[in-house]
């Protein structure tokens, strides 16, 4: 009996320790880092909260809650490489104010760095880097 319990527990531990964003239920905005001023603003100092979710079927959701109202935008993600980084390219169905980039296409690129999932498509136009941390639900 103890062998039967060991296998599921080992499976749960190995799944829970993965760094693959698609296995995460959600990522929460942790901070915004400005390379221009070399300063970091914690998400708790902002007047909104933000979550992103990668679904295993390619669905991507970004939600922002401000003043008690939550807005959700939907896109599709694919594994991709950009500027020598392996990550995830998200393409949205339509343009939206939540999409942070310097390009005409409604896309964002996310990559892992340490414990963060980073979206930095605003940097070329002097915008900040958005840093997300995994949320356990």
Cα–Cα distance for residue pair 45/128, rounded to 1 Å:
15
Segments making up each domain of the chain, as ranges: 26-134
pTM: 0.77
Write the pLDDT tens digit of every residue in 72-127.
Answer: 999 999 999 988 999 999 999 888 888 888 888 899 999 999 889 988 877 777 77
What pLDDT, on the 0 to 100 scale, is given for residue 74?
94
The CATH code of the domain at 26-134 is 2.40.128
What pLDDT, on the 0 to 100 scale, is given for residue 14?
33
HSE, CB side, 13 Å, CA atoms: give it for residue 69.
2
Write the pLDDT tens digit of every residue in 17-45.
Answer: 444 544 547 899 999 998 888 899 999 99
- Two tokens, residue 65: 């809650």
């Amino acid at each position: 009996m103890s062998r039967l319990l060991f296998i599921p527990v080992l499976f749960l531990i190995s799944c829970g320790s993965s760094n693959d964003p698609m296995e995460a239920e959600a990522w929460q905005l942790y901070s915004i880092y400005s390379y221009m001023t070399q300063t970091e603003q914690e998400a708790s100092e902002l007047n909104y909260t933000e979550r992103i979710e990668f679904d295993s079927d390619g669905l991507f959701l970004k939600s922002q809650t401000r003043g008690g109202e939550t807005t959700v935008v939907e896109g599709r993600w694919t594994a991709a490489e950009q500027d020598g980084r392996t990550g995830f390219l998200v393409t949205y169905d339509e343009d939206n104010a939540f999409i942070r980039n310097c390009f005409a296409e409604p896309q964002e690129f996310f990559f892992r760095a340490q414990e963060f999932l980073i979206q930095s498509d605003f940097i070329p136009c002097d915008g900040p880097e958005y840093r997300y941390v995994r949320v356990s639900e």
